[in-house]
Amino acid sequence: MSSNLSSINHWPKEDRPREKLLRDGEQALNNSELLAILLRTGVKGQSALDLARKILAEFKTFRQMSRADVKQWEVFKGLGAAKIAQIKSAIEIGRRFAGDQTKEEKLSVDSAEDVVRIFMPQMRDLKKETVKILALDSRNHITFIKNVEEGTVNYCAPIVREIFEMALQKGAVSLICLHNHPSGNPAPSEDDKRFTEQLYAAGKILQINVLDHIIIGDNRYYSFADEMVI
């Protein structure tokens, strides 16, 4: 068996990504080095770092990697399904980590922009329409986040009921509703408008203030409160 001289194992230890991470911390690594650690091994004629650089040159960003379908990965000969799954899993872990931070820190939100800054990275690339509910206390701190998995505002009544059951259980003073448009266009549909009307009407009856319904697109958003539609 011939040895692959491009293998990271042949590099000086101080230059290897994994050793560098353990010595200097993960913040010291560039994107290619981080990706190389995930890949662990390269393919014929390329080290893991060479392959990582090639992947980043193709996709440019981790975000584009997460959005790419399996066919777009076929340009990398020798890169199997297991490595692709590792990369996509790591990116999703990062996205969920951001959501965990929001829950733990009980962030305060005072505007649609505050909400969008927190949740845009988590929601803009979701492939299916998903509804997310933020329960807030009297100081507008996020106290609870509820995901209505792969929901759709086409089914208004069940979602509205679920939202307010959660809000009452958690003692929410107010709430904010978000959902994404996988198309990237945040303009509200007629279904979105009807759903928002039902949401506000139910909030008035139950004395839970609905502060906003925000639609997340691709780095764009629509706020019913900002537009003063309701």
Assign 113 a pLDDT band (cuts: 50, 70, 90): very high
Domain ranges of the chain: 8-98, 107-227
Q: Which CATH superfamily is domain 107-227 in?
A: Cytidine Deaminase, domain 2 (3.40.140.10)
Model confidence at 146: pLDDT above 90: no
Six token digits for residue 157: 């009544």
Give the pLDDT score at 128. 85
Model confidence at 41: pLDDT above 90: no
Model confidence at 1: pLDDT above 60: no
Assign 174 a pLDDT band (cuts: 50, 70, 90): very high
Angstrom CA distances, 24 to 33, 42, 132, stand at 13, 23, 38
> What does residue 84 show for φ and ψ, rounded to 5 degrees?
-60, -45
What average pLDDT does range 189-193 have in this prediction? 91
In the chain, what percentage of residues exceed pLDDT 90? 36
Task: Give the number of other CB atoms < 10 A from CB of residue 24.
Answer: 11
- Extract long-range pairs of 102-105: CB within 8 Å, 24+ residues apart: 102/142, 102/145, 103/142, 103/144, 103/145
Model confidence at 157: pLDDT above 60: no
Give the pLDDT score at 134. 93
pLDDT digits (tens, 9 = 90+) for 208-220: 999 999 999 999 9
The mean of the pLDDT values for the chain is 84
Model confidence at 226: pLDDT above 50: yes
Give the pLDDT score at 222. 98
10: enclosing H helix or E strand: none
In the chain, what percentage of residues exceed pLDDT 70? 85
**pTM higher than 0.85:** no
Better-predicted residue by pLDDT, 99 or 51: 51
- Are β-strands 221-223 and 142-148 bridged in parallel, bridged antiparallel, or unpaired? unpaired
Model confidence at 92: pLDDT above 80: yes
Better-predicted residue by pLDDT, 218 or 229: 218
CA dihedral 49, 54, 55, 61 (to 10 degrees): 100
Which of 88-92, 155-159, 176-180 has the highest mean predicted lDDT (pLDDT)? 176-180
